């Protein structure tokens, strides 16, 4: 398949690019003009561009031979209250509309469990969404708008819902990446909340494989890209520290839980 990936130079993107290239797919990696290209993008065709500035003809030039767009690009995903989430969401919609107008019939888009809002239990494709932070609100809006648009424009839409990702931690902004950097800075403790919440953690390599399988299937729908197994944050952190043989100690109950964080939420793996 000919697959174009936005956000290809990001934490998720570069691992997905490597997996798809190694599986024999032809990959176009779309990266921000200011990015230094990651080595995992070797073997793909790299295009530096601001996707929001692409005109209709630009999209025809880039995507005319593309079978599938995987849209991962998203600013400030780890800052759930960043104003860019709301400010840019229509730009994401317009970009995807330009891509479908250029003839691409398969669109896969990164979602997030934060679309759901406060919820306790297992999430599936039919779980009601009531997001309570700008990140979740923007993603939820984009999903709803694209579902309606796909029915009107007759393209296949996959909404790939992501959870908590581990692995390649030196290059991530996750809590595990932050623990590594704190340990490298010589800090003896790392502050956390209670750590009792149950979350869905998935390794980046497993996530990349799930994304590849979904793209190859061509089946439309809302899909969890998750482990399907709830694990407490406390357990995940302590296993991470032990695995990497770190001397840093977790310090619990320093921070309160965020009001929009569920005490137990995970994805149904299907």
Query: Which residues are marked as active site?
Result: 135
Cβ proximity of 158 and 110 under 8 Å = no
Within 10 angstroms of residue 162's Cβ, the number of other Cβ atoms is: 23
Within 10 angstroms of residue 175's Cβ, the number of other Cβ atoms is: 18
Cβ proximity of 190 and 179 under 8 Å = yes
Number of residues that this document lists for the chain: 270
What is the rounded distance in angstroms from the CA atom of residue 65 to the CA atom of residue 43? Answer: 18
The structure tokens listed for 249 are 């100690």
The structure tokens listed for 196 are 């009792």
The residues, any chain, with a CB within 8 Å of residue 27's CB and separated by 6 or more, are: 3, 4, 5, 8, 17, 20, 21, 43, 44, 45
State the Cα angle at 174 between 254 and 243, rounded to 5°.
85
Q: Is 145 helix (H, G, I), strand (E, B) or coil?
A: helix
What is the rounded distance in angstroms from the CA atom of residue 117 to the CA atom of residue 122? Answer: 13
Q: Is 247 helix (H, G, I), strand (E, B) or coil?
A: coil
């Amino acid at each position: 398949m000919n697959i174009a990936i936005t956000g290809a130079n990001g934490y998720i993107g570069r691992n997905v690019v490597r997996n798809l290239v190694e599986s024999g797919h032809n990959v176009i990696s779309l990266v921000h003009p200011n990015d230094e290209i990651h080595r995992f993008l070797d073997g793909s065709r790299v295009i530096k561009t601001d996707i929001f500035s692409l005109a209709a003809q630009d999209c025809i030039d880039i995507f005319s031979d593309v079978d599938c767009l995987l849209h991962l690009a998203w600013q400030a995903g780890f800052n759930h209250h960043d104003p860019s989430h709301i400010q840019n969401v229509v730009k994401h919609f317009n970009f995807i509309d330009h891509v479908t107008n250029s003839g691409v019939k398969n669109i896969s888009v990164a979602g997030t469990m934060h679309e759901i809002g406060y919820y306790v239990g297992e999430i599936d494709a039919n779980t009601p969404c009531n997001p309570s932070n700008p990140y979740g609100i923007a993603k939820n809006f984009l999903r709803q708008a694209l579902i309606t648009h796909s029915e009107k424009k007759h393209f296949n839409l996959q909404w790939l819902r992501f959870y908590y990702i581990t692995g390649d931690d030196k290059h991530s902004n996750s809590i595990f990446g932050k623990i590594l950097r704190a340990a490298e800075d010589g800090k003896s403790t790392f502050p956390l909340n209670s750590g009792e919440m149950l979350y869905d953690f998935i390794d980046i390599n497993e996530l990349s494989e799930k994304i590849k399988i979904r793209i190859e299937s061509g089946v439309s729908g809302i899909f969890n890209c998750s482990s399907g197994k709830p694990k407490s944050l406390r357990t995940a952190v302590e296993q991470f520290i032990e695995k990497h043989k770190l001397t840093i100690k977790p310090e619990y109950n320093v921070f309160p839980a965020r009001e929009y964080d569920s005490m137990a939420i995970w994805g149904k793996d299907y």
